[in-house]
Amino acid sequence: MRRSPVPRPTDVEGAIPDAVLIDGARRGDRAAFDQLITRYQHRTYRLALRLTGNGADAEEVTQDAFLQVFRKLTTFRGRSRFSTWLYRVVTNAALMHRRTSRRRPTESLDQYLPEFTSNGRHKRIDIDYAAVARVEDTVKRSELTRLLFQALSRLPPGLRVAVVLRDLEEVPAAQVAAILGIDERALRQRVHRARLMLRGVLGSVAGSGPR
Amino acid sequence: MTRTDMTCRETVIRLLDYLEGRLQTGESRALEDHLDVCPRCMQFLEAYRRTPEIVRRCTDAKAQPALTKRLRRIFAK
């Protein structure tokens, strides 16, 4: 019996479930695959960019990820959400890309972690922690963007992936933990440490010193 | 932990759990009591809380049309 093609796109995102589009793409329905691309291309590219730090690498990673997804559609069983699977593919592709890339910033962001005295008080009393809240008003957007992508690149891979997926892509903690193969407590520790470093970077950019 | 015991270091360690509502009641109160007497930690908390949204805004991006075209060609392979 002939199966009808996947319905045309509607104005409401998600009106056609991913499972229907995936099934269509598996059967050779080009429109179904195109709809998957339309639905996920921007978040895939954005995730790749946040993980790799530059546009050229992000485009390669995005292409690699979609190619992998297309080739493995028949093996996707629907036990997890399609988005979880896609994020896992993009994350692994980005990490693999960095391993083979010559671009490898090595300077640590540990200097941006807060320091404390022996009795547990903030060590640097000259730092204005409130400056972070004003940083978008005081620093040119293009410079802030450049510095933040640089900072993300300098995070250790485990911290970078955790904070990008959880804090920036706002993927639920349970999904991120599943993608990374760690428990949620370990995820929170990584996110916390990465966020402390990024806060420190923002503080430094805002002119309040590295800590 | 008594209400006046929490140090700045102990406060910072607990920030994510505090913001996500994961601290036990007593710990949460001890942290808030510390914030009441430590303006530096209050500012640090606000900066820490705002960091994800600032980084998210500044690193937002969209795929360009040329990339979309290349992705659509994948189906033809």
Q: Around Cβ A101, how many Cβ atoms within 10 Å?
A: 13
Q: So what's the pLDDT on residue A73? A: 86
- Name all contacts of A97-103 with Cβ < 8 Å and 24+ positions apart: A97/A52, A97/A57, A97/A60, A97/A61, A97/A64, A98/A51, A98/A52, A98/A57, A98/A157, A101/A57, A103/A53, A103/A54, A103/A57
Beta-carbon contacts of residue B22 (< 8 Å; ≥ 6 apart): none
Give residue A125's pLDDT: 77
Give the C-alpha distances (Å, rounded to integers) separating B9 from A9, A65, A153, A189, A199: 52, 41, 27, 15, 16
Nearest by CB: B55 against A116, A125, A168: A168
Non-local (6+) Cβ contacts of A46 within 8 A are A169, B59, B60, B61, B62
Instruction: Kindly state the tokens that stand for A43.
Output: 């978040």
Helix (DSSP H) and strand (DSSP E) numbers for chain A: 9, 0
| pLDDT given for residue A151 in this prediction | 96
Residue A141 amino acid letter: R
Tell me, yes or no, if B57 comes closer than 8 A to chain A by beta carbon: yes
Q: What is the rounded CA–CA span in Å between residue A75 and residue A87?
A: 16
Query: Is A192 in Cβ contact with B16 (below 8 Å)?
Result: yes
Min Cα distance A164 → chain B (Å) is 9
Residue ranges, chain A, pLDDT below 50: 1-3, 9-12, 211
What pLDDT is recorded for position A207? 78
Looking up tokens 């505090």 gives B18
* CA pair distance A134, A203, nearest whole angstrom: 10
- B interface test, pick of A34, A44, A45, A197 with most B CB neighbours within 10 Å: A45
The pLDDT, as a whole number, for residue A26 is 86
pLDDT at A104: 58
Q: Does B73 touch chain A (CB under 8 A)?
A: no
Tokens at A57, concatenated: 């690498």
pLDDT of residue B25: 93
Cα A80 from Cα A83, distance rounded (Å): 8
Question: Are residues A41 and B17, on separate chains, in Cβ contact within 8 Å?
Answer: no
Angle at A206 between CA A127 and CA A119, to 5 degrees: 25
pLDDT values of chain B reduced to their tens digit, one per residue, 77 residues = 444 589 999 999 999 999 999 999 999 999 999 999 999 999 999 999 999 999 999 999 999 999 999 988 877 65
**A58, A120, A129: residue with CB nearest B43:** A129
Q: What is the pTM of this model?
A: 0.89
Sign of CA dihedral A75, A13, A84, A145: positive
End-to-end alpha carbon distance in chain A: 67
* Tokens 């007497």 belong to residue: B37
B36 exposure class (CB count in 10 Å sphere: 0-12, 13-18, 19+):
exposed
What per-residue confidence (pLDDT) applies to B32? 96
- Note every long-range contact of A137-141, with CB atoms under 8 Å and residues 24 or more positions apart, other chains counting: A138/A206, A138/A207, A139/A205, A139/A206, A141/B58
Q: What was the pLDDT predicted at A6?
A: 56
How far apart CA A132 and CA A22 sit, in angstroms, is 43
In this complex, is the C-beta atom of B67 within 8 Å of any C-beta atom belonging to chain A?
A: yes
Cβ <8 Å between A59 and B43: no
Classify residue B45 by its DSSP letter: H
| Contact across the interface for B17 and A188, Cβ inside 8 Å | yes
Q: Which of A152, A147, A58, A154 is nearest to A97 (CA)?
A: A58
CB atoms A41 and B63 under 8 Å: yes
Residue-level pLDDT at A10:
46
